[in-house]
Amino acid sequence: MQNPAKYQTNNTLIRRYERVIGVLVKYGFEDIISHPPFNRFLPKSKKWIPIREGRPVFAYTRYERMRMVCEELGTTFIKFAQIAANRPDLLPEELISELEKFHDHAPTVPEADIREVFLKEFQKPPEELFEYFDYQPIAAASMAQVHRARLIGGKDVVLKIQRPGIRDTVELDIQILKQLANLIETYFPQYAAFQPKELVVMFETSIRKELRFTVEAANLARFQENFKLNQDIYVPDWYPEFTTDRILCLEFIDGIKITDLEAMKAIGMTGPELALKGINLYYEQVFEYGFFHADPHPGNIFILPDKRVCFVDFGMMGVILDNDKELMANLLLTIAEQDVDGLKKALLKFTKEEKFEDDKDLEYDIVEFLSSYSEMSIDQIEGAEVMEGLNRMFFKYKIRVPPNLLLLLKALIIIEGVGLMLDPRYNIIKNIEPYVRRLLGKKYNPQKITKSVVKALGDLTRMAVSLPEDVEQIVHKLREGKLQIEFEHKGLEALYHKIETVSNRIAFTLLLTALIIGSSLIVIADIPPHVNHVPVLGFVGFLIAGLLALRLIISILRHGNF
């Protein structure tokens, strides 16, 4: 006998398939769903052409119809579209602009359903947990809605409550999205460059985090720790005793919206002053801590009466590693300095390809890109326009950019828009330059270089120690006839060059190792002559070894072959 729960799940999935297929047919995507497994669910009814805003749907572009499909299919598909809009390196500009048009709104959840969520999470209704709870939400989105409440003792809070059943819907839709992505890559090679499978995987990772409110609470706690000593920013508290994966309890922030310029004047704060303070705080998130608010739109930034800036909604955060910070810093600095060769190198560092065939075409496009700014002063360059130009090059040359860097680029465009709203003379390139130079200065400070040299020497020593054992293993496998070599001939010149380079470096390393070991033996044996009780030959040997090691490291860094 079939399991009733499994039978119900299968029925739910089939109904969801039918719904998705029906909407795709409605908007003219029969070509996609005419392949298995979707063709089993194709409706048998006569085709009809729906009207959208007074026009037949086929009067709209294919990208506009893609947006309409996502809108009609609801939460999961809207979220997928919003996350996909963060990948301008994979999707064309026209599609990105359509996917950015979504507004996250939804009908309110009934009071009985809210009470049921609390009973499942805390085994008590809201009335028994709080001094006051308002069942009328102050905001309702597709994933959750927000309610006002008051803790016993008088503290005002807000509760972010996940919509009942949303997880089941998301899980069903992820299965369908995976099937669609596989189908598109199999039967529609013209869309393979969009990397639909990668987009779905990225979406799945993101949506699973977003469905766990404890992740958002952890983000807030980390952000709070970063800025605990900063007097210009206020980070709201959260209450773990009332926080679960489906409910998040936060301090209520009674602040001024940054769009309310009159209210800011009343507390003695001007738009330019706030723009400078708020954006500097944002750059500090990025370049000091590498952990930044990824959705800094005006609704997520408030000003308190004491002029402190308060960010809210920590569901979407970005992380940027030190290497990627330097990559981004170099990119922005080359634009500010109109450096064609430097910008090309910075862009190519984003790509994962070992060989880039369109190098010359890219160089011409960069010259054209920078020439449009050559007659402008740095005050006149618009950051959003620069970012959009970079995105077009990412897409055209299939330069694969780490998702968090793209998230940062998009956040910088948003933050520039906020800055311009507060101060029409605000310029993101001019204001970001000091942070970029400071970051690059840290990279090349003597202390950091010394640490890198010491680390490299340690790596070389470990390699020298393990080299005899590695050679012995290779010889042993040769004797046993178990050594397997995979060889793909694509032109031997590069291979010969590589072999020669590797051989030279191994010989160099062995010489370096011999110098270090020999010098160590001289020091241990205390062989004269001495200077300040240190054997001169041993000291000179270590000095030569250090200089040789430094030369080797510089050579490796120069050629980028770490």
- Of all helices (H) and strands (E), which one includes residue 139? strand 139-140
In the predicted model, is pLDDT for residue 46 greater than 50? no
Q: Could you tell me which CATH class the domain 105-164+212-252 is placed in?
A: alpha beta
Task: Please indicate whether residue 471 or residue 342 has the higher confidence score (pLDDT).
Answer: 342
- Condensed to tens digits (0 to 9), the pLDDT of residues 420-437 reads 888 888 777 677 777 777
Strands, E assignment, 32-74:
51-52, 55-56
Where exactly are the structural domains of the chain? Answer: 4-100+171-209, 105-164+212-252, 256-444, 446-559
Q: What is the mean pLDDT of residues 365-373?
A: 77
Instruction: Give Cα separations from 250 to 161, 170, 181, 376, 499 (angstroms).
Output: 11, 25, 38, 46, 60
What single-letter amino acid sits at 398?
K
In the predicted model, is pLDDT for residue 75 greater than 50? yes
Q: What is the pLDDT of residue 483?
A: 60
- Condensed to tens digits (0 to 9), the pLDDT of residues 201-213 reads 888 988 898 899 9
Q: What is the mean pLDDT of residues 62-89?
A: 86
- Catalogue the long-range contacts made by 519-525 (C-beta closer than 8 Å, 24 or more residues apart): 519/545
- Condensed to tens digits (0 to 9), the pLDDT of residues 21-36 reads 888 888 888 777 666 6
Q: Look up residue 23 and give its DSSP letter.
A: H
- Condensed to tens digits (0 to 9), the pLDDT of residues 169-228 reads 899 999 989 988 888 888 887 777 778 888 888 889 888 988 999 999 999 999 999 999
Q: What is the pLDDT of residue 26?
A: 84
Q: What is the CA radius of gyration of the chain?
A: 30
- Condensed to tens digits (0 to 9), the pLDDT of residues 128-166 reads 999 999 999 998 888 899 999 999 999 999 999 999 989
- In this structure, what is the dihedral angle of CA atoms 387, 388, 389, 390, given to the nearest 10 degrees? 50
Beta-carbon-side half-sphere exposure of residue 116 (alpha carbons within 13 Å) = 9
Q: What is the mean pLDDT of residues 553-562?
A: 63
Q: What is the pLDDT of residue 354?
A: 47
In the predicted model, is pLDDT for residue 353 greater than 70? no
What is the C-alpha separation between 177 and 82, in angstroms, rounded? 14
Q: What is the pLDDT of residue 5?
A: 47
- Closest by CA position to 20, among listed 1, 37, 3, 2: 37
233 SS3 class: strand
Q: What is the mean pLDDT of residues 374-385?
A: 63
Give the best-scoring range by mean pLDDT among 7-11, 294-298, 299-303, 341-345: 299-303
Return the structure tokens found at 464. 């020298």
% of residues, the chain, pLDDT over 70: 77
Task: Please indicate whether residue 404 or residue 9 has the higher confidence score (pLDDT).
Answer: 404
- Closest by CA position to 146, among listed 237, 247, 240, 46: 247
Confidence at 253, pLDDT banded by 50, 70, 90: very high
Q: What is the pLDDT of residue 49?
A: 55
How does the average pLDDT of the chain come out, rounded?
79
Q: What is the mean pLDDT of residues 472-477?
A: 69
Q: What is the mean pLDDT of residues 458-462?
A: 60
Q: Look up residue 124 and give its DSSP letter.
A: S
Instruction: Give Cα separations from 180 to 13, 29, 513 (angstroms).
Output: 14, 12, 57
Q: What is the pLDDT of residue 7?
A: 43
Return the structure tokens found at 326. 């330097």
pTM here? 0.68
What is the C-alpha separation between 434 and 440, in angstroms, rounded? 10
- Of all helices (H) and strands (E), which one includes residue 545? helix 536-559
Choice among 42-56, 235-249, 303-317, 328-342 with the minimum mean pLDDT: 42-56
Non-local CB neighbours of 422 within 8 Å, separated by 6+ positions: 258, 261, 271, 272, 274, 275, 278
